[in-house]
A and B are shown apart, each in its own frame.
Chain A
Amino acid sequence: MSVVTFPKSPVQTEMTPVFEVSCTVKRNDPVNGEYRQLVLYAPQSILDCAPGQFFHLLCPITEQLQPFLRRPMSIYGFYPEKGELHFLYKVTGEGTSALATLTAGQSLNVLGPLGHGFDILPDWQNLLLVARGVGLATLAPLALQAHRLGRNLTAICSARSEDMLMSLDYFRDLGAEIIPITDDNGSSDMANLRHIIEAKIADTGIDAMYTCGSNRILKLLQTLGEIHNIPGQIALEQQMACGIGMCQCCVRAFRRDGKTVNERVCREGPVFDLQEAIGW
């Protein structure tokens, strides 16, 4: 099965520092109906991040909302030069609702940076990113990194409707080629997506593919990866308690060397080899 195995970058060692710090909220604004962007003033120590890594957030306790565990959230942007850390999140339940109550000047305790992020190998010039919904939050810093490294990036951004498409300016400002697709006009179906990607492969070629979140996109990219011999990576999610590798609650199954292995999303992930990932 796994024709293209991914060269893993060095694993975090026990001694790579992780920080638990209180940050001050700069702003926490709605982006559209369901999504919010949280901007924190952050100390330099925690801004030595890699795209695909995440932070584990201790959501505030309010009168109505009492989230207990921390909530994992991908880094949407990290800016050592201005001392900022950004998150893009969807309000879904107790923890994210509590996050949404934060206002400028309040503090938020964050733990991180955590996990193994995306790799961009030296000989990968043409990168393709396929993101849907809040997956954009996870893939956005990859665009930032590609820009910083001077690589070409094509971002296929998928959403239910035109107005749910987020972060297009973010990608555009980083010099990425953007291909928006939506359910509303039918452009987001798998056949069309396949057509778009294969045209890109035929045109400039693609050296690596990145995605997260959608099972159908995973399947499609696995197929295309195999046919065209293109490596890829996927960011995955799982319920977490500790976030740093101690509790074993966040495991997922992967295919490796003909066997099924369990790996911790918080530690060996959240970014994994595309071909090793198992759909859900």
Chain B
Amino acid sequence: MVDLTTQIGSLTLKNPIMPASGTFSEELAQLFDLECLGAHVTKTITREKRSGNPTPRVCEVRGSMLNSIGIPSKGLDAFKANVIPFYERYSAPLIVSISAGSADEFASLCEDISVPGVAAIEVNISCPNIEEDGKAFAMRPSTTYAVMQKLRQATDLPLWAKLTPNTGETTEVAKAAEEAGADALVVSNTLLAMAIDIHTRRPKLGNLMGGLSGPAFKPIALRMAYQCAKSVNIPVIGCGGISTVEDVIEYLIAGAVAVQIGTATFLEPKIMVRMIDGLDAYLKSQGFQTVGQLVGSVEDEEASDGLVFMEAAP
């Protein structure tokens, strides 16, 4: 028997596979028993009702996709009344993703969502900070620190900070989140991107730009997960482009203690179930007893010291 459990701060997950925010919902229960997942992560919510961005909200690019869904939200009350109770039937921990336009609003939403049934809060600090210059909180160490500190004071639940790949200061942002009290990092959200229809000359997304996700994005998110794992002591949850069990293994080797699966679920809705089985089989075949033995086992030796903090082309 291989032990698939993984530890994220005070939370023990029965396996390291969970969905990414915005690519998962109650509807997936129509395809398989959601109980098998390491955790459940909900679409980001805001306090107020929001309708999201104009359509088209998705388009595909070679081997990947762009989305500009935005954060349509039915609001906090509807979420508490409908979504949290749905997940009560499962023992897998429920992770609620939240967002807000200012540090204070973020903190007050965080406080109000710290209710029974919620195991941890994922803070989507990749969203724009309206009070500053509209840039995402997680673009800079200073704004990351400021918002995470307020969030830390607002809840006793574990706080996972979801980082953005659009920053040039990955390790500094990661350390700022850790210092301000984050319990884990989710690395990462989508990368800002664009596609234009050459026949109509119109941007393919109604919002003009959107986030790249899927296989083409994987090397970038993997690089970030690796940098973060090297530079902080809190657990790193890898996310970005994972579509096969080999990708899961790669992230674990890079230092992630768990992974989130997004776009791949759109193509293969039961992919997470297959990954859990595949990971189990892989660990057995390699003679590992626990997932932990694989985590961070990358053979980078002393070369890592210089490379981790590199934010320039080699």
Chain A residues in contact with chain B, CB under 8 A?
12, 14-20, 58, 66-70, 111, 238-252, 262, 267
Contacts and interface: CB of A to CB of B under 8 A. Distances in A.
Contacts of A16: 30
Interface stretch (B53-61, B93-101, B149-157, B220-228): B53-61
B52 interface: yes
A52 B57 CA distance: 23
Interface stretch (B105-113, B119-127, B252-260, B262-270): B262-270
B193 to A, nearest CB: 14
Contacts, number: 100
The listed residue with most A CB atoms (<10 A of its CB), out of B58, B86, B265, is B58
Contacts of A246: 22-25, 27-28, 43, 265-266
Given A249-B57, A262-B72, A241 B266 contact: yes
Contact of B27 (A19, A67, A267): A267
Given A14-B26, A15-B30, A16-B30, A247 B69 contact: yes
Interface of B: 22-31, 43, 51-52, 55-65, 67, 69, 72, 86, 214, 265-270
8 contacts: A19-B31, A68-B65, A70-B266, A238-B55, A239-B57, A246-B43, A247-B69, A249-B58
The listed residue with most B CB atoms (<10 A of its CB), out of A17, A58, A68, A245, is A68
Contact of B29 (A14, A58, A248): A14
Given A241-B65, A244-B269, A247-B69, A69 B58 contact: yes
Given A246-B22, A248-B52, 8 more contacts: A17-B31, A68-B65, A68-B267, A69-B266, A239-B55, A244-B27, A245-B25, A248-B57
Contact of B31 (A18, A248, A262): A18
Nearest to B73: A248
A249 B62 CA distance: 19
Contacts of A70: 266-267
A239 B55 CA distance: 8
Given A68-B60, A239-B55, A247 B269 contact: no
B58 A262 contact: no
Contacts of B63: 66, 68
A187 B256 CA distance: 65
Contacts of B265: 242, 246
